[in-house]
Amino acid sequence: MPSMNTLPDAAGLPTATVLLKPKRARPFFGRHPWVLDSAVLRVEGSPADGDVVDLATHDGTFVARGLWNAASRLRVRLYAFDPAVKLDDALWRTRLEAAVALRRTLGLDDRAGAARLVNSEGDDLSGLIVDRYGDYLAVQVTALAMALRLETLADQLMDLVGPRGILLRGAERGLSKLEGLQLPDRVIRGAAPSGPIFVTEHGLKFGVDLTAGQKTGYYLDQRDNRHAAARFARGRRVLDMFCYSGGFAVAAAVAGGARGVLAVDSSAKAAALAKANADLNGAANVTVETADAFEKLDALREAGERFGMVVLDPPKFARSRAALDDALRAYHRINRVAIDMLEPGGILVTCSCSGSVSREDFLQMLGGVAQRARRSLQILECRGAAPDHPVSASCLEGEYLKCVIARVG
Ligand code: SAH
* Claim to verify: residue 181 and residue 247 sit in the same structural domain: no
* Claim to verify: residue 167 and residue 224 sit in the same structural domain: no
Asked if residue 9 belongs to a domain, the reply is: no
CATH number at residue 132: 3.30.750.80
Question: How many Å lie between the centroid of ligand 1 and the Cα of residue 372?
Answer: 26
> Which amino acid is it at 376?
S
Candidates 222, 227, 264, 266: which one to mutate for ligand 1, based on the most atoms within 8 Å of Cβ?
Answer: 266
> What local confidence, expressed as pLDDT, does residue 176 receive?
66
Average pLDDT of the residues in 333-337: 98
For ligand 1, atom 12, name the residue with the nearest CA. Answer: 244
* Claim to verify: residue 178 and residue 232 sit in the same structural domain: no
> What local confidence, expressed as pLDDT, does residue 327 receive?
95
Asked if residue 300 belongs to a domain, the reply is: yes
Average pLDDT of the residues in 30-55: 97
For residue 7, is pLDDT > 70?
no
> Which amino acid is it at 224?
D
- Per cent of the chain over pLDDT 70 is 95
Question: How many Å lie between the centroid of ligand 1 and the Cα of residue 359?
Answer: 20
How far apart, in whole angstroms, are the C-alpha atoms of residue 64 and residue 77?
10
Q: Which atom of ligand 1 is nearest to the CA of 270?
A: 13
| pLDDT tens digits along 54-99 | 999 999 999 999 999 999 999 999 999 999 999 999 999 999 999 9
| pLDDT tens digits along 271-298 | 999 999 999 999 999 999 999 999 999 9
Average pLDDT of the residues in 132-161: 96
Average pLDDT of the residues in 359-377: 98
For residue 319, is pLDDT > 70?
yes
- Asked if 231 and 393 touch (Cβ cutoff 8 Å), the reply is no
Q: Which atom of ligand 1 is nearest to the CA of 244?
A: 13
Question: How many Å lie between the centroid of ligand 1 and the Cα of residue 219?
Answer: 11
Question: How many Å lie between the centroid of ligand 1 and the Cα of residue 210?
Answer: 17
> What local confidence, expressed as pLDDT, does residue 183 receive?
80
For ligand 1, atom 13, name the residue with the nearest CA. Answer: 244
* Claim to verify: residue 269 and residue 168 sit in the same structural domain: no
Average pLDDT of the residues in 99-119: 97
What are the beta bridge partners of residue 315? none
Model confidence band, residue 5 (pLDDT cutoffs 50, 70, 90)? very low
Asked if residue 294 belongs to a domain, the reply is: yes
The upper half-sphere exposure of residue 403, i.e. CA atoms within 13 Å in the direction of its Cβ, equals 20
> What local confidence, expressed as pLDDT, does residue 2 receive?
45
Q: If you average pLDDT over every residue of the chain, what do you get?
A: 94
Model confidence band, residue 1 (pLDDT cutoffs 50, 70, 90)? very low
- Which among 259, 184, 263 is positioned nearest to 226, based on CA atoms? 263
Model confidence band, residue 376 (pLDDT cutoffs 50, 70, 90)? very high
For ligand 1, atom 7, name the residue with the nearest CA. Answer: 247
What are phi and psi for residue 151, nearest 5 degrees?
-65, -45
Residue that is last in its domain, among 58, 80, 102: 80
Question: How many Å lie between the centroid of ligand 1 and the Cα of residue 244?
Answer: 5
* Claim to verify: residue 166 and residue 250 sit in the same structural domain: no
Asked if residue 378 belongs to a domain, the reply is: yes
Q: Which atom of ligand 1 is nearest to the CA of 240?
A: 1
Asked if residue 212 belongs to a domain, the reply is: no
> What local confidence, expressed as pLDDT, does residue 10 receive?
65
- Asked if 183 and 141 touch (Cβ cutoff 8 Å), the reply is yes
Question: How many Å lie between the centroid of ligand 1 and the Cα of residue 95?
Answer: 33
Q: What is the pTM of this model?
A: 0.94
For ligand 1, atom 15, name the residue with the nearest CA. Answer: 267
> Which amino acid is it at 319?
R
For residue 198, is pLDDT > 90?
yes
> Which amino acid is it at 131?
D
Residues 6+ apart with CB under 8 A from 7: none
* Claim to verify: residue 61 and residue 97 sit in the same structural domain: no
- Asked if 56 and 45 touch (Cβ cutoff 8 Å), the reply is no
Residue that is last in its domain, among 43, 58, 80: 80
> What local confidence, expressed as pLDDT, does residue 27 receive?
97
Full DSSP string of 157-205? HHHHH--SEEEEEPPPHHHHHHHT-----EEEEE---SS-EEEEETTEE
Question: Rg for the chain (alpha carbons), in Å?
Answer: 23
Q: How far is CA 208 from CA 113, 136, 138, 270, 321, in A?
A: 11, 11, 11, 11, 32
> What local confidence, expressed as pLDDT, does residue 174 receive?
61
| Residues having CB within 6 Å of any atom of ligand 1 | 214, 219, 222, 226, 242-245, 247-248, 265-267, 270, 292-294, 313-315
Based on the structure, what is the number of domains in the chain? 3
Asked if residue 197 belongs to a domain, the reply is: no
What are phi and psi for residue 310, nearest 5 degrees?
-125, 130
* Claim to verify: residue 181 and residue 270 sit in the same structural domain: no
Least confident of 52-56, 219-223, 309-313, 315-319: 315-319
* Claim to verify: residue 137 and residue 173 sit in the same structural domain: yes
Model confidence band, residue 212 (pLDDT cutoffs 50, 70, 90)? confident
How far apart, in whole angstroms, are the C-alpha atoms of residue 312 and residue 40?
42
Average pLDDT of the residues in 223-251: 98
| pLDDT tens digits along 113-144 | 999 999 999 999 999 999 999 999 999 999 99
Asked if residue 134 belongs to a domain, the reply is: yes
Q: Which atom of ligand 1 is nearest to the CA of 219?
A: 8
- Asked if 211 and 236 touch (Cβ cutoff 8 Å), the reply is no
SS3 327: helix
CATH number at residue 229: 3.40.50.150
CATH number at residue 66: 2.30.130.10
* Claim to verify: residue 246 and residue 368 sit in the same structural domain: yes
Average pLDDT of the residues in 347-358: 96
> What local confidence, expressed as pLDDT, does residue 3 receive?
43
> What local confidence, expressed as pLDDT, does residue 182 receive?
76
* Claim to verify: residue 75 and residue 167 sit in the same structural domain: no
Largest CA distance in the chain: 69
Cite the active site residues.
353
* DSSP 8-state secondary structure symbol assigned to residue 7: P
* Claim to verify: residue 288 and residue 264 sit in the same structural domain: yes
Question: How many Å lie between the centroid of ligand 1 and the Cα of residue 268?
Answer: 11
SS3 154: helix
Average pLDDT of the residues in 315-328: 87
Asked if residue 4 belongs to a domain, the reply is: no
- Asked if 40 and 68 touch (Cβ cutoff 8 Å), the reply is no
Which domain covers residue 106, as residue numbers?
89-190
> What local confidence, expressed as pLDDT, does residue 215 receive?
57
> What local confidence, expressed as pLDDT, does residue 322 receive?
79
Q: Which atom of ligand 1 is nearest to the CA of 267?
A: 15
For residue 181, is pLDDT > 80?
no
Q: Which atom of ligand 1 is nearest to the CA of 265?
A: 25
Candidates 218, 226, 242: which one to mutate for ligand 1, based on the most atoms within 8 Å of Cβ?
Answer: 242
For ligand 1, atom 9, name the residue with the nearest CA. Answer: 315
Average pLDDT of the residues in 220-237: 98
* Claim to verify: residue 76 and residue 93 sit in the same structural domain: no
Candidates 241, 244, 319, 331: which one to mutate for ligand 1, based on the most atoms within 8 Å of Cβ?
Answer: 244
What are the beta bridge partners of residue 241? 264, 312
